[in-house]
Homo-oligomer: A and B are copies of this chain.
Amino acid sequence: METAHNEYKQGFIDFVNSLNNLRTEVATVLAQQLETVSFKKGEAILEQGSVCRYVYFINNGLVKTGFESKDRTFIMRFFAEGAMFTVLDSYLSRQASAYQIQALENTVVTRISRTALDDLRARFHSMETFFSKLLATASVNMMWRIGEILEEQASVRYANFIKENPDLVQRISLGDLAAYLGITQVSLSRIRAGR
């Protein structure tokens, strides 16, 4: 439906503007490059081993990015409505990704292809600035996460996660939260029991 489609595009544009305000002209060109796609709960948005060719904005729903290793799964991050994400290494290198993206709920995303965004970044200084700021945000988050993992035990990280994401906790399974914390689901259950 066209109306809904444009609304979704507007979410993406608003997000970009919130990081770095675009001239109307640039926003218009950007809007032309966006497309909106839906995924059902459980569906893979990006499979491990394929190349991530998009930057995504979540209109609604919830996704996890992570990877499978040996027989365990690890989660890099959850992204909910209003967030922008990609699998950065694959996106930048154009190589197959070790990471996957999966919808944890029915999810609607608006995305832009790397080709299109590269072009916009090259043509418009403001789009490059937006991209810098996007990476800056991601970097600061990751820095923080590394520090926390090094410093704190799983029980503390669990408590921190709950405190900082009270909303998300309701929507994430125990197993996925454990995979985010880097411990087994059984260990997290034990931590919750307080032993």
Contact = CB atoms under 8 A, between A and B. Distances in A.
A77 to B, nearest CB: 9
Contacts of A150: 74, 149, 182
Contact of A128 (B76, B93, B98, B125): B125
A67 interface: yes
B147 A145 contact: no
Contact of A129 (B76, B93, B121, B140): B121
A146 interface: yes
Number of copies: 2
Interface stretch (A47-55, A131-139, A187-195): A131-139
Contacts of A149: 146, 149-150, 182
A151 interface: yes
A147 B92 contact: no
Number of chain A interface residues as a range: 20 to 34
Contacts of A131: 132
A7 interface: no
Interface of A: 67, 69, 72, 74, 76, 88-89, 92-93, 98, 121, 125, 128-129, 131-132, 135-136, 138-140, 142-147, 149-151, 182
19 contacts: A69-B151, A76-B143, A76-B146, A88-B143, A89-B144, A92-B140, A98-B147, A121-B129, A121-B132, A125-B128, A128-B129, A132-B135, A135-B139, A138-B139, A139-B139, A146-B149, A149-B182, A150-B182, A151-B182
